[in-house]
Structure 1
Amino acid sequence: MYADKNMVLTILRNLISNAIKFTPKGGTVEIGVETRRGVSLHEIYVKDSGVGISKEMQSKIFDIGENTSTKGTENEDGTGLGLILCKEFIERHNGNIWVESDEGKGSEFIFTLPVI
């Protein structure tokens, strides 16, 4: 994989800090990488057992101009810009990002980067 190290670190930092922020004490955060050889992609995921995201909010969290900032489980503030930045950096690398989530059951953020 060829990628800008600082951008990838920023992506991971944002996704991991969000997972921690929205997962209550005693919950889990899992990080992993899978290589999809048939399509030459690395699939990186950050999965948590946190509060989850409503279907309505899932359609907005990557969009500029949408106010999606939410308080964390310890009442932490956020700007709502971290996921927008992640999407921008991933798309600059010809990748994609999406979320799979159910309210009250946690979230999994998955992004792909091409294998070069």
Structure 2
Amino acid sequence: MSNVAKSKNITIQSEIEKDLYVFADTNMLETIFRNLIANAIKFTNNNGKVLISSKKEHNQTLFIVEDNGTGIASDKIGNLFTSNQKETTLGTNNESGTGLGLMLCKDFVEKHGGEIWVNSKLGEGSSFVFSIPDHD
């Protein structure tokens, strides 16, 4: 994804601690991050920024993929993670998608016992957050 980010001059910054560990399926976690980061790049204008971070909270780890892109209209947020979303939105450089990435993310997060949600303001960007519960 770094080539796509470079073509739009988007900075991707990770603030995930190097010694952070979670009990999770590596392939599923990589797919979740790949989809969320790809969407962040897709909906961020040239010269924008994507920030990836994490924090421990209430026996779980929260992962956040945040951008300063186009944001999402409040009336569209409720259908982002459902299969009845028939249309996809073009990215800032007319990038297209299948509309399946966020549904897959939701499925993979829930298989780990976690949740996924988004905070967004139209014209200001979005912050996708997902949790992975701690396992004893």
Higher RCO (Cα < 8 Å, 6 or more apart): 1
Match of 1:93? 112
The correspondence for 1:48, drawn from 54, 63, 67, is 67
Q: In the TM superposition, what are the counterparts of 1:8-27 in structure 2 within 5 Å? A: 8-27=29-48
Shift of 1:24: 0.5
Q: Bigger shift: 23-32 or 64-73?
A: 64-73
CA separation in 1, counterparts of 2:53 and 2:120? 17
Shift of 1:33: 0.8
Q: In the TM superposition, what are the counterparts of 1:74-113 in structure 2 within 5 Å? A: 74-113=93-132
Helix, strand or coil for the counterpart of 1:76? coil
Helix, strand or coil for the counterpart of 2:118? strand
CA separation in 1, counterparts of 2:112 and 2:102? 15
Shift of 1:65: 2.0
Q: How many residues align?
A: 114
- Unaligned 5+ residue runs, structure 2? 1-21
- Same amino acid, percent of matched pairs: 46
CA separation in 2, counterparts of 1:3 and 1:67? 30
TM-score (normalised: structure 1): 0.96
CA separation in 1, counterparts of 2:38 and 2:89? 13
Query: Cα RMSD over matched residues?
Result: 0.7
Match of 1:35? 56
